[in-house]
Structure 1
């Protein structure tokens, strides 16, 4: 099974997102965050998060690029639980039980998006606000297309040198 992790090619995400995702954290589209947005909400860093940001499942920050990576079932299941808890804590879902199917669907959609691509394939998202709601488009760059291993800043899962803005959902 595949999912995607946040990657950084440079430091730009620190400048363009109010709350940047951490290198290496698992990500989903996170378009649900924008379901009630209108044109007036699309300003500054919020506009950038809307237009091009994947949602990190640890910091709930945004990242421009993610890379397809294999995930173990136990880790995937833990992400479903964590996202469901986030839906209860942040979005007011009535219970963990009610939030679990929605969280499972969000992760299943991302897993399906990643399933047809090789590991290390880079994905980008482009969102626009239409009369029918939020429209998402995805682009894929296979690792051999650009010698990505030469450019990506992979970091470690323990990398904690980011300076995060307030309200990012970080523990520090």
Structure 2
């Protein structure tokens, strides 16, 4: 099974999101947050979260890039519980038991998005508000296409090098 983790190449997410996700936390698209938004809600940092942000499942902050990686069943079970609790605490779901299937479905959608991509593939999301609601479009970037070598430190643990 695959899911995605938040990844940062620089500090820009710290500036563009009111609540940025932490590097390495598990993420989902999180478009449900915007289901009842109107054009009037799309201002400032909220607009950026709407337009390009994945939802972190620890901080419930937003991140621009996520990287596909393997998730273990026990981690997925814990993420389901965490997200169900978020639905209760923030969105008024009547109970953890009733929120759990919705949380599992949100995670399943993200797993489906990640499943056909190789580990370390980067994903981005772009949203727009349409007359039918929120439209999400996803883009996959191969790590080579993303120019990760610009950000990676290359070296050797060998003292002779």
- TM-score, normalised relative to structure 1: 0.86
Across the aligned residues of Structure 1 and Structure 2, the Cα RMSD in angstroms comes to: 1.2
Which runs of 5 or more structure 2 residues have no equivalent in the other structure? 154-161
> Which residue in the other structure is 1:166 paired with?
none
Map of 1:131-170 to 2, 5 A cutoff?
131-151=131-151
Q: What is the CA-CA distance between 1:50 and the residue it aligns to?
A: 0.1
1:27 equivalenced with 2:27 (yes/no): yes
User: What is aligned with 1:11?
Assistant: 11
Greater relative contact order structure (CA < 8 Å, 6+ sep): 1
Query: How does 1:115-134 map onto structure 2 within 5 Å?
Result: 115-134=115-134
What secondary structure does 1:20 align onto? coil
- 1:11-62 Cα shifts (integer Å, max 9, x gaps): 0000000000000000000000000100000000000000000000000000
Moved over 6 A (4+): none
| Greater C-alpha radius of gyration | 2
- Give distance in 2, aligned partners of 1:95 and 1:103: 12
For residue 145 of structure 1, give the secondary structure of its aligned residue in structure 2: coil
Query: What is the number of equivalent residue pairs in this alignment?
Result: 153
* Secondary structure in 2 matching 1:144: coil
Aligned to 1:162: none
Contiguous gaps of at least 5 residues in structure 1? 154-172
Q: Aligned residue for 2:156?
A: none
Paired with 1:19 and 1:148, the residues of 2 have a C-alpha distance of: 25
1:150 deviation in Å? 4.1
Kept after mapping to 2: 8 A contact 1:9/1:152: no
> Structure 2 length as normaliser, TM-score?
0.92
State how far apart, in whole Å, the 2-side matches of 1:146 and 1:16 are.
Answer: 20
Distance 1:144 1:72 in 2: 26
